[in-house]
Chains A and B, each alone.
Chain A
Amino acid sequence: MRLDWDAAYLDGRTAARRPASVHITRTGIDIALRESATRFFWPFREIRQTQGAYAGEQVRLERGGDLAEVLLVGDIGFLSAARAASPEAAHLHEPGRRRFRVGLTFGALLAAVALAVGIYYVAIPAFAGVAAARVPVAWEEKLGAAIVDHFAPPSRRCEDPARQARIDAIVAQLTASVQPRPYTFRITIVNSGIVNAVAAPGGHIIVFRGLLERTDSAEELAGVLAHEVQHVLHRHVTRAIFQQASTGVLMAALVGDVSGVVAYGLQGARTLGDLQMNRAAESEADRDGMRLLQEAGIDTEGMITFFDKLSKYEREHGGDSLTRYLRSHPTTAERIATLRGLAAAAPRPERRLLGEDDWNNVKSLCGELPEDSRSPQR
């Protein structure tokens, strides 16, 4: 076992690097400075190793308080020799175990991935559910109002009290059976060609003109509203906000400190992931929306026809504003089949909500319809 090593000594007071030789003993190391012939002794238990645990680093030993004395040894073989010479040197890094450490790092990689997946699919949804259920309704209402102001600034709203009242009546009929009902539902119609409807927290529902104009009956709109009302009742949006924030933290933990461009790219990846998770929320809103229609005595066929119509239209005119609705509301054949199965369980009511002429009147709430934006069917 080699006991004598070349080293450099830094006294922690000057920037001078002094060549030294080191002799390993059973309890510590003897350091001798070359020029001055000064000798001193460092017991192992007072030595800290601060560098030299990674490939390419030199061994750095420190002794003393904040502004410590430093001993630098270029050869990592020194560490093995010191560990072999004294049990008191066991806290020093063992270069022989580096290969093992690489293996551990791979293990850590697998564990980190497994943990991240578990957090993403189990812990975050559970946390978001619990947290969302504890948000006071008043907060949700405030948040919802802010979202409505963002999507539908007052200048872009379609204001027609008479026709709006007919739509509000549909909502009232739809939600009559909901017990308990903490929310006051408010429908805002936005003058925009986008085919979409958005549920904001706290009972706010935004319907875009494009969607309204593509409905052929009051039942079709009622189907969409039933779906959105369930989003509100299940607090899906509030939950999604918690989920988004937590996945953001998870991403930061996995990727480290990122800013600017990368954060933007991550946002995209996150949205994709969140959409995936939203499928569950969508089928929940479908299922319970369907139930709502049945309890309110509204023909469920309207909901099915409208979603079916959207999916056909999507196939024919892929990539226009319609797809926005579809991207957040996947209209697969499977989804429609599920809806049909649910609808078949209850008898269809005889009465219709509104006559066809009446409905054509209501849906032109944002002004007279141009000929080409009438419904894609017929």
Chain B
Amino acid sequence: MADTCPRCGFAEVASDKCPQCGVVVTTYRASLDKLRRGPQPGGISPFARGPVSRPESASVPEAPTGAPAAAPSTPGWLSAPPPPATQAAAPSSGSRQASFRGSGATLFGVHIVNALLILATLGIYYFWAKVRVRAYLWSESEFEGDRFAYHGTGRELIIGFVKAFAFFLLPMTLLNTLPEIFEASALVIMATRLLVSILAGIFIPVAIVGARRYRLSRTSWRGIRFSLRTSTRPFVSLWVRGWLLTSFTMGLYYPAFVTNQHRFLTSNTWFGSERFAFDGRGRDLIPVWFASIILFFPTFGLSWFWFLAKRQRYYAEHTRVAGARFRSTVTAPKLAWLTISTWIGLLCTLGMAWPWLTVRKVRRTFAWLSLDGSLALDSITQQAQQVNATGEGLAGFFDADLGFT
């Protein structure tokens, strides 16, 4: 019956059950309808206050028709049609850039207070500290006259950390050490070690998707949330297949592997009801990748920046959103200098200069990136999803940070 899964956005649902996330489409739709028919508040301020309970990871790619807004007990899902009386929706065109308005000194001040509170609370404050740094960086980032906003909370992060610890780090550590403590045979120890490394390998992509899903869902611009709408499983299989193919082809598959990851993450990213599109192909990067590998040792590794810069430009040029296309002017010398000088600065100051270096890095990154063409924003509507921070906590263990902080 359905062609698109209402829960995860999977495109080819032939039967009533989505092959990707396993949801039964009719049941899911019915429960959504039930929620949508809740009491409708009047006025222009229709949103629920206070905590709302939501079904696990509900996200709806299609804007619903009819009901103007969600009700006070709305679970999971808030969406609305375009407003009746807004200004004319003429898409503006031209080249747009984000800019960063903050300063390293202010960020350093935030950091100092954070450090004090982390020490005084024996580390518990760490999660709130992370939120404060992110909130600052987000809210000083401006695009088209509007700031980004970060909506994560320390409470969410600590719960994510505890869950990731209980369900991942603790079992893994036990699995790793128990056979030795009980003096199991060498074969058993070998087998559990192998199992642990396989499990860790599978958890890395889970962490990447989880962290990205969380961060996007806690980021907004003009009040509209970003989201990552897909289940985790296809990314894990993409990752495992990519690793195997990369090793079997002696690395030749690597550009395709990273591009597939990027395509998966980008084309499942949404800004409200607007989906990002990526049309790059890994094979286009093979020549530059090959050349930079050949030149790796003669250039003391600097040729790698050539590949990285080309990849950034290529990825930008093949990414579209709301009718506009990204463009990047980054070059290998620029990227190499930014990266190396940041390392040197951090090393020489034992990390104390990170607030200034982070601000500098964000400024440069914004300066290199632009969004060209007509940008149709006015038809974009809110479509948020319910996400927890377990993946974020997991990513903390792998040091798999995406972007800044």
Contacts and interface: CB of A to CB of B under 8 A. Distances in A.
Given A35-B86, A65-B47, A253 B119 contact: yes
B119 A116 contact: yes
B86 A14 contact: yes
Interface in B342-380: 343, 346-347, 350-352, 354, 377-378, 380
Nearest to B88: A35
Nearest to B354: A256
B33 interface: no
Contacts of B135: 50-51
A109 to B, nearest CB: 5
Contacts of A18: 86-87
A345 interface: no
Contacts of A351: none
B82 A14 contact: yes
Contact of B113 (A105, A115, A260): A105
B377 A51 contact: no
A257 B223 contact: no
Interface string B80-92: 1011011100000
Interface in A70-99: 70, 72
Contact of A261 (B78, B140, B346): B346
Nearest to B77: A67
Interface stretch (A54-62, A171-179, A217-225): A54-62
Interface residues of B, number: 71
A16 B147 contact: no
Contacts of A72: 146-147
A-side interface mostly: mixed
B139 interface: yes
A265 B350 contact: yes
A252 to B, nearest CB: 9
Nearest to A115: B119
A15 interface: yes
B136 interface: yes
A40 interface: yes
Nearest to B342: A261
Given A35-B86, A38-B44, A253-B119, A67 B382 contact: yes
Given A15-B224, A249-B123, A57 B350 contact: no
Contacts of A36: 85
B149 A40 contact: no
B215 to A, nearest CB: 14
Contacts of B301: none
A270 B177 CA distance: 28
A14 B83 CA distance: 7
A138 B354 CA distance: 43
Contacts of A16: 83, 86-87, 222, 377-378
A130 to B, nearest CB: 15
B223 A11 contact: yes
A266 B351 contact: yes
A296 interface: no
The 4 closest A-B pairs by CB, nearest first: A10-B223, A255-B351, A13-B80, A64-B47
19 contacts: A11-B223, A12-B47, A16-B87, A38-B44, A50-B149, A57-B101, A58-B147, A67-B47, A69-B47, A102-B109, A105-B113, A115-B116, A249-B123, A253-B119, A254-B119, A258-B346, A258-B354, A262-B343, A265-B347
